[in-house]
Amino acid sequence: MFVITADQVGSRSGPDLAAGALDDLNERYRDRLALPVDRNAGDEIQALTADPRTALDLVLDLTREGVWSVGLGCGGVRTPLPDETREASGEAFIAARSAVTRAKRMPTRFAAGAVVDASAAEDAEAVLNLLLTIRESRSPAGWELFDLVSSGLTQAEAGKLLGITPQSASDRARAGGIRIELASIGALTRLLASLDDAQRTETV
């Protein structure tokens, strides 16, 4: 199982973003979560999922604007599950707690952890941080193109909607590392699945 713990950056000097994030994430990920995204304490939120692609998507969503420190924990979770995420416990929650603490000191504000097989989590963290570093340099115009292409449009179709030439769309995609990101999603999902498998194997 995967636990994503996110702690708001600069919460003491800015508005509380947790309530809006809860509504947004629960609306978009409702059917992909083991339990609804929950406020854990103060300005911190937590999500629980068994699906590696959902875990990846949540990490990418939460790190996009740089307003959350995000920790990904992988491992066992005690069952039966309670009604609320903040009441759940297990190794994945312990790992996520440690990861979000480290994430606050990371340039990308992301870290991953696991109690049983830490090396697998280190591999996932390293590769994910490469992608997050690419994303940090993406311009607003690059994000505009990315959102259209990732919704299923071709690059040419997205460029046409944006009123730019195919060459401009290609230049924007190259500068923003859009093709690199889209090509990496499958590999990253498999890497997280392997991370999850490693925790199960070690505990047998």
The confidence score (pLDDT) of residue 42 equals 77
Residues whose CB falls within 8 Å of the CB of residue 19, separated by 6 or more in sequence, listed in order: 39
Classify 113 as helix, strand or coil: strand
Q: Give me 16's structure tokens.
A: 């509380």
Q: What is the pTM of this model?
A: 0.93
The confidence score (pLDDT) of residue 41 equals 77
Q: Which domains does the chain have, with CATH numbers?
A: 2-117 (3.30.70.1230)
pLDDT, one tens digit for every residue, the chain (204 residues): 999 999 999 767 678 888 899 999 999 999 999 999 999 877 899 999 999 999 999 999 999 999 999 999 999 999 999 999 999 999 999 999 999 999 999 999 999 999 999 999 999 999 999 999 999 999 999 999 999 999 999 999 999 999 999 999 999 999 999 999 999 999 999 999 999 999 986 543
The confidence score (pLDDT) of residue 202 equals 52
The confidence score (pLDDT) of residue 203 equals 45
The confidence score (pLDDT) of residue 201 equals 65
Report DSSP state, residue 11: G
The alpha-helical segments, DSSP class H, found in 104-150 are 118-136, 140-150
The confidence score (pLDDT) of residue 145 equals 97
Amino acid identity at 89: S
User: Please, are residues 72 and 110 in contact by the beta-carbon 8 Å criterion?
Assistant: yes
The confidence score (pLDDT) of residue 63 equals 97
Per DSSP, what are the bridge partners of residue 112? 72
Report DSSP state, residue 108: T
User: Please, are residues 84 and 38 in contact by the beta-carbon 8 Å criterion?
Assistant: yes
